[in-house]
């Protein structure tokens, strides 16, 4: 009876989330950006955004290769591949999260399990928005849910197999490939698995722990070495472009409140925390105290305690705290709620369901009163939150620069569900961009103008050259044109030169770098004199940029991504990856000339 009730509740909750996610289905511009790299992989150009330039534009390596695999397997249109994959992973995340929490609360020992925390998560609009956005958000929460389910099973098993421990360690070790900051969860989880009590096998404990570390670290460490050699960086180029090592505490707190405040998100968290405490006390009171391990040695006792559900819960709650602090430090993001969804998910994992027991005669127990009251209040809150719009401006971008991305792109494209690349042709400037390319067979650099219907075209300096487009929206541009057309952005997600500038301190978060188009004119080998230059570009400025770009350190940085990948180049990239990551140029060419001592170099 209980098993069928629990499975029915899990199925109903998963279907509810699937319905909510499908009703808000879309693929973001940044989601289309991922697909440009996948297209290059399928075309044999390697994991790059522009052929011939090794730049890691996608933050999640695992997501890139997962989409590539299913794209190769199905040969279906990539937008539909990523839509189906993201929706499947999002729903699977809810299922595994619920299964893990059902086990946490003792399975069949509970009279009834109420899907309270799951209701909180699926009620928050960003959770449904990013379930199908084409970004790695669905993979992140699915990985968290599977890790949670695996750790709970491991912590409750009377006996554990070495193969099971290895599988768990391997999954935890994938953390930095899922997203680099997920290492704040994966590394502590791997350490806990290593330090906890081990399977009883005829091998020395030190050897088992070494093998656990090897299994958990082999893939991420191997990829890290390859990344440094191939891309010349110790982390994705997106982290350089957004200066992930920098600190923007005030903006981070604004981003946190932008999610918590409009939905009153603190209310269900407090209610469910209280319900969990009461239910936990009731559960402990009904269970006889086990003192069999009291006589064990302190180290052995500590190892046993690490392999308990309480330790797993502490790991997830502690990781949620660490991830939240990290996100606040870097300033959050410009997408409403997106970068706090993993933290919210971790925080809710122990209360994805809460147990309700019938009153016991002769014993005071607040659980049968508090738990259903907390659940009822949470359900009422969910109805309020699910229909709340956090950002109410006409263009769906708040005063702080944080945007409701899905509604913004619905408004600017005119499509209720922008999914295909063609849907974004109705975004301002995109059709005009394609028309300008078609009208200039000799190639050139396209720079956007204030008008939505025209682009400036800077022709090649000598003869003909390929087309290069210089604009912020990478995804919609790159997915609506062939792979041989180079696509760069002034923020630096796909353009190392822009990524290695210093960000503006008070600019919009996530958009706080903006390299002048003059640099792209010089770098792409375009004409540097009037009348070929647009009216707002200065010949003298372009000439000084040509001098500045002779800086040996800058040339070496660009060579790390553009030179042929020989063994010597790979070795140098590995050795210099940290230096390349910290290298910055000045947007003002005079300052750059002075920094590199190039003033005596003739123009």
- Is residue 325's pLDDT more than 80? yes
* Burial degree of 429 (CB within 10 A; 0-12, 13-18, 19+): buried
pLDDT, position 294: 47
Predicted pLDDT of residue 108? 46
CB atoms within 10 A of CB 58: 26
Query: Got the DSSP string for 128-190?
Result: HHTTSSSSTHHHHHHHHHHHHHHHHHHHH-SS--HHHHHHHHHHHHTHHHH-GGGHHHHHHHH
Average pLDDT score over residue span 82-110: 90
* Poorest-pLDDT segment among 293-302, 441-450, 589-598: 293-302
- Nearby residues of 418 by Cβ (< 8 Å), 6 or more positions away: 26, 27, 409, 410, 424
Element housing 444 (H / E): strand 444-448
Report the chain's C-alpha Rg in angstroms.
Answer: 27
What is the reported pLDDT for 299?
Answer: 81
pLDDT at position 203: 86
pLDDT of residue 503: 87
Burial of 474 per CB tally in 10 Å (0-12, 13-18, 19+): buried
Cα–Cα dist 156/177, whole Å = 28
Residue 510 tokens, joined: 């996530």
Full-model pTM:
0.94
CA dihedral 57, 59, 62, 68 (to 10 degrees): -30
Residue 8 pLDDT: 80
For the ranges 85-89, 359-363, 369-373, 488-492, which has the lowest average pLDDT? Answer: 359-363
What is the band of 85 on the pLDDT scale with cuts at 50, 70, 90? Answer: very high
Query: Pseudo-torsion of CA 575, 581, 585, 586, nearest 10°?
Result: -150
| pLDDT value at residue 366 | 59
**Picking from 245-249, 359-363, 468-472, 498-502, which range would have the lowest pLDDT averaged per residue?**
359-363
Domain map of the chain by residue range? Answer: 1-285+299-355+366-387, 440-596
Strands 444-448 and 467-470: parallel
């Amino acid at each position: 009876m209980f098993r069928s009730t629990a499975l029915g509740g899990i199925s109903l909750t998963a279907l509810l989330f699937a319905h909510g996610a499908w009703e808000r289905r879309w693929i973001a511009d940044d989601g289309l950006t991922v697909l440009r790299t996948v297209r290059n992989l399928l075309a044999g150009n390697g994991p790059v955004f522009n052929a011939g330039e090794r730049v890691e534009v996608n933050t999640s390596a695992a997501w890139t290769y997962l989409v590539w695999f299913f794209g190769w397997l199905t040969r279906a249109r990539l937008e539909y591949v990523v839509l189906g994959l993201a929706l499947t992973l999002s729903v699977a995340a809810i299922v595994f999260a619920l299964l893990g929490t059902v086990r946490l609360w003792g399975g069949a020992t509970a009279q009834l399990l109420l899907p309270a925390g799951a209701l909180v998560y699926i009620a928050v609009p960003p959770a449904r928005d990013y379930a199908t956005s084409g970004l790695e958000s669905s993979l992140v929460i699915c990985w968290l849910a599977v890790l949670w389910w695996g750790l709970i099973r491991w912590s409750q098993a009377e006996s554990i197999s070495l193969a099971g421990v290895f599988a768990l360690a391997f999954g935890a070790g994938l953390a930095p490939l899922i997203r680099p900051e997920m290492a704040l969860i994966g590394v502590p989880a791997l350490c806990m698995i290593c330090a906890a009590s081990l399977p009883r096998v005829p091998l020395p404990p030190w050897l088992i722990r070494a093998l656990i570390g090897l299994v958990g670290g082999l893939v991420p460490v191997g990829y890290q070495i390859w990344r440094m050699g191939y891309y010349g960086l110790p982390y994705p180029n997106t982290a350089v472009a957004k200066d992930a090592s920098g600190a923007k505490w005030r903006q981070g707190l604004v981003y946190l409140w932008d999610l918590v405040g409009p939905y009153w998100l603190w209310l269900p968290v407090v209610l469910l925390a209280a319900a969990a405490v009461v239910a936990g006390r009731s559960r402990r009171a009904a269970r006889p105290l086990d003192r069999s391990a009291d006589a064990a040695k302190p180290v052995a006792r500590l190892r046993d305690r690490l392999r308990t559900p309480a330790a797993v819960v502490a790991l997830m709650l502690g990781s949620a705290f660490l991830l939240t602090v990290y996100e606040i430090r870097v300033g959050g993001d410009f997408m409403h709620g997106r970068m706090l969804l993993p933290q919210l998910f971790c925080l809710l994992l122990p209360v994805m369901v809460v147990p309700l027991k019938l009153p016991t005669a002769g014993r005071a127990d607040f659980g049968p009163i508090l738990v259903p009251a907390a659940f009822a209040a949470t359900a009422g809150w969910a109805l309020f939150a699910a229909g709340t719009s956090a950002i109410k401006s006409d263009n769906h971008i708040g005063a702080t620069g944080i945007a409701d991305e899905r509604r913004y792109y619905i408004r600017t494209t005119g499509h209720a569900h922008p999914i295909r690349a063609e849907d974004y042709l109705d975004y301002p400037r995109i059709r005009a961009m394609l028309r300008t390319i078609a009208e200039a067979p000799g190639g050139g650099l396209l720079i956007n103008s204030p008008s939505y219907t025209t682009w400036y075209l800077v022709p090649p300096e000598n003869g003909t050259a390929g087309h290069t487009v210089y604009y912020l929206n990478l995804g919609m541009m790159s997915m609506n044109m062939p792979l041989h057309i180079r696509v760069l952005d002034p923020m630096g997600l796909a353009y190392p030169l822009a990524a290695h500038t210093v960000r503006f301190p008070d600019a919009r978060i996530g958009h706080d770098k903006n390299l002048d188009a003059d640099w792209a004119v010089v770098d792409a080998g375009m004409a540097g004199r009037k009348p070929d230059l647009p009216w707002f570009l200065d010949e003298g400025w372009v000439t000084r940029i040509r001098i500045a770009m002779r800086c040996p350190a800058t040339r070496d940085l660009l060579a790390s991504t553009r030179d042929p990948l020989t063994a010597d180049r790979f070795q140098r990239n590995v050795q210099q990856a940290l230096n390349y990551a910290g290298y910055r140029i000045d947007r003002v060419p005079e300052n750059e000339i002075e920094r590199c001592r190039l003033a005596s170099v003739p123009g």
